Amino acid sequence: MACFDLVRPFLGLGLVVFLPLVGPLNAQEGVTSPLEEDRDRSASLESLDDRWDFEQSFHSSGEGLFTGDFQITQWNAQYGHVYKELSWDLGLTYSTYDVDLRSPDPFFSSTSSYDDRVGVQANVTQSLSERLTWQGIGGYYEGFQNFRSLWLHEYYKQIGSVPFFGGYPDISPRGYQLGAQFRWEYLPATGYLEMNFGYYKDWIAPSAEFERITVLGRSVIDSFQYRLASENILGPRVRSLLELNLTHTAARERRYGVQHSLNIALAERWVFRTQAGWVTENPGFEAFFAGGTLEHELTSSWLVSVFGRFYHDTGEIQNSLPASNAPPGLDSYQIGLGVRWLGESSSIKVTGGPYFTRYEKADIEAPFFEDLYRSRDWASIQVAYSLSF
């Protein structure tokens, strides 16, 4: 979940998300962070010899996107516990947004703003039978979902304070999610089917049109997400994951998406991971993305990788008033290098590289948001640490 939203690269296509630091609705709109490695989900929980034996894990990661007027960071920590057929984990996320705001609007004065977002998520997984598992998911957050929401809130708050306008309310953005997943091993050790359902409720900063009475857009958003996925081991060197996704957000058309991932062992020390996807929603939204990572095992402990990603969309659909603050079409590109160290029970990975966002030129009468949707060059860095004990 998710979530960093820079500019929608790699839309979230369900409860599981594939994306760098970005996502609209949260491309929930949101997908998994590029820091996360593909986990071997084919391994079932093993029975433990001693009734008191258990396994614990800890994962922590930090990510940052930096350009001249925007600095975005996110920190994640997760603790997990496995005991026989039952496992649970608890995660904490902390994000910060440091933005400089500029606009040609004559009623707006350039300013800077800083805000943060805190989120918590808990998962409980239970084996129902030898081949069937169930997972319950719950989460809550406080703060703006992304830096774009913070920018728009600060703009509306300042414009609403002009004496002859009707004002803008104080906003406390927050939200929660509830979900469930069933995973069925329909072919022993080679075929798996997953079904997910998620409900999201978000209190957001609404769009506004200012007159003597302020006209506000929707401030509470309800979303339902459905996901069907098939994971298969196609041979000794190939693993495939195909995902179908449906998102239904209040007052919007249904959003459909498909995503395919492949892990290929090219040789004894070479692995290639690739992902591609497509999303559509009426009226007029369409997006696709593709990316790949090539990793080489230098030694038993050290691995190096190179990766690239591309994202395109035709312009995001707003959850609030369909005014001129809607983002125009976007192309984004990311390339980078990574280094990973593997120990007996722990691992560390560091990746970094440039990240480019290119917006289509918006043809609107009042381009008050042109600086928010200006093309930019970013620096991206990610660090991740995992420990099992």
Determine the Cα–Cα distance for residues 57 and 35; give it in Å rounded to an integer.
Answer: 17
Sign of CA dihedral 349, 354, 359, 360: negative
pLDDT, tens digit, for every residue of 151-162? Answer: 989 998 998 888
Residue 10 counted as domain residue: no
Q: Is 52 exposed, middle or buried (0-12, 13-18, 19+ CB in 10 A)?
A: exposed
Name residue, tokens 């947004």.
Answer: 97
DSSP letters for 133-177: EEEEEEEEEES-SSHHHHHHHHHHHHHHTSTTS--------EEEE
Q: What is the mean pLDDT of the chain?
A: 85
pLDDT, tens digit, for every residue of 124-177? Answer: 999 999 999 999 999 999 999 999 999 989 998 998 888 878 888 888 999 999
Mention every residue, 6+ apart, whose C-beta is less than 8 A from residue 52: none
Contact status, residue 95 vs residue 116, Cβ threshold 8 Å: yes
Residue 61 counted as domain residue: no
Determine the Cα–Cα distance for residues 277 and 307; give it in Å rounded to an integer.
Answer: 17
Contact status, residue 135 vs residue 183, Cβ threshold 8 Å: yes
Contact status, residue 249 vs residue 282, Cβ threshold 8 Å: no
**Structural domains counted in the chain:** 1
Contact status, residue 125 vs residue 134, Cβ threshold 8 Å: yes
- Confidence class of residue 324 from pLDDT cuts 50, 70 and 90? low
Q: What is the mean pLDDT of residues 12-24?
A: 32
Domain around 143: 76-388
Question: What DSSP state is assigned to residue 369?
Answer: T
Contact status, residue 107 vs residue 121, Cβ threshold 8 Å: no
Residue 62 counted as domain residue: no
- Confidence class of residue 182 from pLDDT cuts 50, 70 and 90? very high
The answer on pLDDT for 381 being more than 70 is yes
Residue 39 counted as domain residue: no
Q: What pLDDT score was predicted for residue 318?
A: 62
- Confidence class of residue 317 from pLDDT cuts 50, 70 and 90? low
Mention every residue, 6+ apart, whose C-beta is less than 8 A from residue 388: 55, 56, 57, 345, 346
Q: What is the mean pLDDT of residues 221-243?
A: 97
Q: What pLDDT score was predicted for residue 206?
A: 87
- Confidence class of residue 218 from pLDDT cuts 50, 70 and 90? confident
The answer on pLDDT for 178 being more than 90 is yes
Residue 94 counted as domain residue: yes
Determine the Cα–Cα distance for residues 379 and 354; give it in Å rounded to an integer.
Answer: 5
Give the CATH number of the domain where residue 346 resides: 2.40.160.40
Q: What pLDDT score was predicted for residue 10?
A: 34
Strands (E), the chain: 55-66, 70-83, 86-101, 111-127, 132-142, 174-187, 191-203, 208-209, 215-216, 220-235, 238-249, 255-267, 270-281, 285-297, 302-313, 330-342, 346-359, 376-388
Residue 21 counted as domain residue: no
Residue 4 counted as domain residue: no
Candidate from 52-56, 77-81, 260-264, 304-308 with smallest mean pLDDT:
52-56
Residue 278, φ and ψ in degrees, nearest 5: -145, 140
DSSP letters for 246-258: EEEETTS--EEEE
Residue by residue, what is the 3-state secondary structure of 97-131? EEEEECCCCCCCCCEEEEEEEEEEEEEEEEECCCC
Report how far apart the first and last C-alpha atoms of the chain are (Å, whole number).
26
Residue 32 counted as domain residue: no
Contact status, residue 27 vs residue 343, Cβ threshold 8 Å: no
Mention every residue, 6+ apart, whose C-beta is less than 8 A from residue 143: 95, 115, 116, 117, 118, 119, 173, 174
